[in-house]
Amino acid sequence: MKVGFLGCGKIGGAMLSALLEDGKNEVTFIQDPFVGQEGKPCPVTEKSDETLLEKTDLVIESATVDVLKENVEAILKHCNLMVFSVTAFSDEAFYAQAKELTEKYGRTIYLPHGAILGLDGIADGRKVIKSVRIETTKNPKSLGRTDTERTVVYEGSTRQACREYPRNVNVHAAVALAGLGFDKTQSRIISDPAVSTNAHTITVDGDGIHFEIVVSSQAGGGVTGKYTPYSAVSSMFKVLGGSGEFRFV
């Protein structure tokens, strides 16, 4: 496949390196105003370039919600899309727009499993699941805060969590899309200066079922845990290999 990158920071950079090392797919462009051309195997642009998109099969987004929203139509006109800024879909208008564009252009949006496990199990159990709760614990620095003691900074619907912490709760958004939706999924975010990990606990209950998924990884700096880039690379190769990932609709 021919692959383009929208955003090429820690996650995007890990996927780019893995693609180049594998050598079985072609990188057509990198769109990121903070990445220089030197040493890159493809054109680097600051803005969307239709000529490059026409030559691309899959765009991998790992930028921000705003960047995704600005570029989604130009991308889906020409390519399939893998989205890491999953919190964007908590915006009902954007969700509707993305769904309409996939239908209009016959494209697919893939949702990587990212920092979490078990999305397929949650999706499979939709008909019997009654409640889904997600608790995330991070160091205050990862949340852009300066708390000096353990503090519950948010508790409520996942939709509102995505609005208040759009760069920190992509896990919550992915679970909501896989399961009961943004309004019926409940989120809890804890700021704890004593931890150096990003930890997520998902609790699922339903008719005759109960399970918990616990994932903890060393914070890799910023909002990304150490596990996430490895998971991102795996998700990318699943899509490129045709086995797919969880899909937007």
Rg (CA), the chain: 18
Tokens of 37: 């051309």
The CATH number fitting domain 119-223, selected from 3.30.300.30, 3.30.360.10, 3.40.50.2300, 3.30.70.890: 3.30.360.10
pTM for the structure as a whole? 0.88
Given a cut of 80, is residue 17 above it in pLDDT? yes
**What is the crossing angle of helices 227-240 and 10-22, to 10°?**
50
Q: Return the domain boundaries, the chain.
A: 2-115+228-247, 119-223
Fold match flag (2-115+228-247 vs 119-223): no
Predicted pLDDT of residue 112:
85
DSSP string, 108-160: -EEE--TT---HHHHHHTTTTEEEEEEEEEE-GGGGT---SS-EEEEEEEHHH
- pLDDT tens digit sequence for 181-238: 999 999 999 999 999 999 999 999 999 999 999 988 887 555 555 667 788 898 899 9
- pLDDT tens digit sequence for 41-96: 999 999 999 999 999 999 999 999 999 999 999 999 999 999 999 999 999 999 99
Output the CA torsion 141→146→151→154 (10° steps).
Answer: -70
Q: What are phi and psi of 29, to 5 degrees?
A: -165, 160
CATH topology of domain 2-115+228-247: Rossmann fold (3.40.50)
